[in-house]
Amino acid sequence: MTDLHFASMADVARMLCLGAIKPSELVEECLARIDAHDGKINAFITVLADQAREAAIQADQDIEKGLPRGLLHGIPVALKDIYDTAGILTSCHSKLFENRIPDTDSDVWERLSASGAILLGKTGTHEFATGGPSFDLPWPPARNPWNTDHIPAGSSSGSGAAVAAGMAFMAMGSDTGGSIRGPAGVNGLSGLKPSYGRLSRRGIFPLSWTQDHAGPLARTTEDCAMSMQVLSGFDPKDPASVNASVPDYLSGLNRSIKGMKVGWCTNWYAGHASASVEKVLQDAADTLKALGAEIVPVDMAPIEDFHACGRLIILSEAFAIHKQWLASQPEMYGEFFRLRTRLGAFISADQYIDALRWRRQLAAGMVEAMAGVDLLLTANQHGPAETFENSQQDYHFFGKPSLTMPANVSGQPALTIRGGFAEGGLPIGIQLIGHSFADADVLRVGHQFEKARPELQTWPSL
């Protein structure tokens, strides 16, 4: 039997419903993992042990009385430390916000709290969701639980590490160019970047207004679907929020994918990715074919175009957000963030507008190229997690193009799931990209893939 701390969120929810376990036991299990292992993983900035225990006792009582609050009642979760929480430090992993205590909650935490979720704490991130992994910040960078010499990717680094290490059953991340899917891939998790506008970003400190997405990191796609059921909904206080009905993400998970057409996009990673990634993608295509899906080769616009377009927009908007502080208090930032974000000062208004127009063209091209398929299968990463030694680059985005950027440029839903392992045992993720607001389709395919490949569901030994 899987250790309780590595059980899926869906499984512990079923156990709670049957009375086989109490919320207080789940919280103590997570806190014990944090106490035992976070000294070397550095997943958390703030641990709310007393608050979590109090919430768990209340959840115990409510459930015993037959008064469940919602789908996640009694389940311990964590938030990336860019999500506002009233009365609780929200630092963005930066000296600039080292003592920042918001007065209000983010929309995401309002919805999670209303469903009965219990907040364990706030997880580390790359500084302001872009500057890292850095060693010149008030808190050390998170490490990969599979091998602590390796990075957990970013920028949702602590969230990915916490879930992979058995310290939380789900953790929220954010994704502007792949910051949910990167950590999901290298930590062996399921991570969803929903359709743009599906989840509110209110109360999440922005990196790029037009490319930021909120989303969950969890152990299974079913867990992501549970999270989406709670998190989805219109927020009139977020200008990007879309007023659309919320589907039942859970009811369709077990439907067969027989007859679905999956476009296999190899031109984004061929020549860039390692042999282990190539093999994992071939195995994934074979698995989906065995499940009854039709695999259709699809060529998309060059990955370099999406990478350049998305990065120009991120740099422009991030610099606009931080311009005042970079000018008045540059010493309050880490070196990576300061160097990377200052590049935005050299992007002119006409270049930014051209990038926005280019984004529309690239997004339209994706829609056209995907007209004959239900979703895309492609690589999530170029190889397994890098070592910290190899990750210390001032301008990391001048290297290989980001394989996760296209879905940020287009705003389409993208799910990363564990596809296999590299030599040495580090996880390799695969990426599924769906049509806009067809999040349920990528969740269904991801869930069916995970059911077909149970041998992949192992966890790191700490």
Catalytic residues: 80, 155, 179
At residue 312, φ and ψ (nearest 5 deg) are: -60, -40
As a three-state string, the secondary structure of 294-345 is EEEECCCCCHHHHHHHHHHHHHHHHHHHHHHHHHHCHHHCCHHHHHHHHHHH
Helix (H, G, I), strand (E, B) or coil at 267: coil
Token pair of 304 as six digits: 């370099």
For residue 376, list its beta bridge partners. Answer: 263, 433
Rounded alpha-carbon distances, angstroms, from residue 398 to 79, 182, 378, 402: 30, 17, 22, 10
For residue 217, list its beta bridge partners. Answer: 171, 191
From CA 129, how far away is CA 413, in angstroms rounded? 20
- Strands 261-264 and 294-297 turn out to be parallel
Contact (CB, 8 A) for 321 and 131: no
From CA 58, how far away is CA 41, in angstroms rounded? 30
From CA 154, how far away is CA 106, in angstroms rounded? 21
Token pair of 366 as six digits: 């994706």
Rounded alpha-carbon distances, angstroms, from residue 382 to 67, 268, 271, 313: 47, 10, 10, 23
Residue for token pair 């459930």: 63
Q: Tell me how many helices (H) and strands (E) the chain has.
A: 14, 11
From CA 160, how far away is CA 80, in angstroms rounded? 10
**Edge-to-edge strand ranges of the sheet holding 44-47:** 44-47, 118-123, 76-80, 170-175, 213-218, 190-193, 414-421, 427-434, 375-379, 261-264, 294-297
For residue 377, list its beta bridge partners. Answer: 264, 432
Helix (H, G, I), strand (E, B) or coil at 167: coil
From CA 72, how far away is CA 228, in angstroms rounded? 11
Assign residue 44 a region (left: φ > 0; alpha: ψ between -120 and 50; beta: otherwise): beta
Give the count of beta carbons closer than 10 Å to the beta carbon of residue 267: 14
Is the bond preceding 91 in cis, omega lying within 30 degrees of 0? no
